[in-house]
Homo-oligomer: A and B are copies of this chain.
Amino acid sequence: MQPAAKLDAVPSATKPGECEYVLETQIGHLLRRAHQRHVAQFEKEVGDLDLTPTQFAALAKISERGEVSQNLLGRMTAMDPATIQGVIQRLMARGLIDRRPDPNDRRATLLRLSAPGRTLTREAIRRAHHVSKGVLEPLTPDDRAQLTALLRKLTDLT
């Protein structure tokens, strides 16, 4: 990313629905930036394990479920079938995941962690908790709970 910026404050808002658009007040831009913040923090703290946030999410979820189909894993981690395919392929190439065909459904593939995968995931989970803490660090404890709750509501995660 760029060197952080600190640009001049944003001036006047106009009435919405009109031809003015203050990027910095729009939810989409804010979400994008906040997400970027998390990715950066994750990279800084977990990057030396060579795991991206998505790769980690996949590992963590497999770890939680023991064995899942690739497609279900995708739904649980909010990844497109096309996306999860690439993620799994890269984790496979590193030997972190074992695959086997689903005996009950010949379309499906079942995934589980390999022994090295389990070890790496344990360590990554430890660090991931620290990442979450770091991301929320600018907020008060109350604000953190608020934000989490609001995002869950927004994303329909009850």
The chain A residues found within 8 Å of chain B, CB to CB, are 1-3, 5, 7, 9-10, 16-17, 19-39, 42, 53, 57, 60-61, 63-64, 74-81, 122, 125-126, 128-132, 135-136, 138-139, 143-144, 146-148, 150-158
Contacts and interface: CB of A to CB of B under 8 A. Distances in A.
A108 B110 CA distance: 52
Nearest to A80: B1
A92 to B, nearest CB: 20
A21 B150 contact: no
A96 to B, nearest CB: 16
A35 B32 contact: yes
Given A19-B122, A33-B78, A122-B19, A27 B154 contact: no
Nearest to A61: B23
Contact of A129 (B10, B21, B33, B154): B21
- Kindly list the 10 A-B residue pairs having the minimum CB-CB distance in the complex, ordered from nearest: A30-B151, A33-B155, A28-B38, A5-B75, A21-B125, A31-B35, A147-B150, A35-B35, A21-B60, A2-B75
Given A21-B63, A147-B147, 13 more contacts: A1-B78, A2-B78, A2-B80, A5-B76, A23-B61, A24-B152, A27-B132, A29-B77, A29-B78, A32-B35, A35-B35, A138-B156, A146-B150
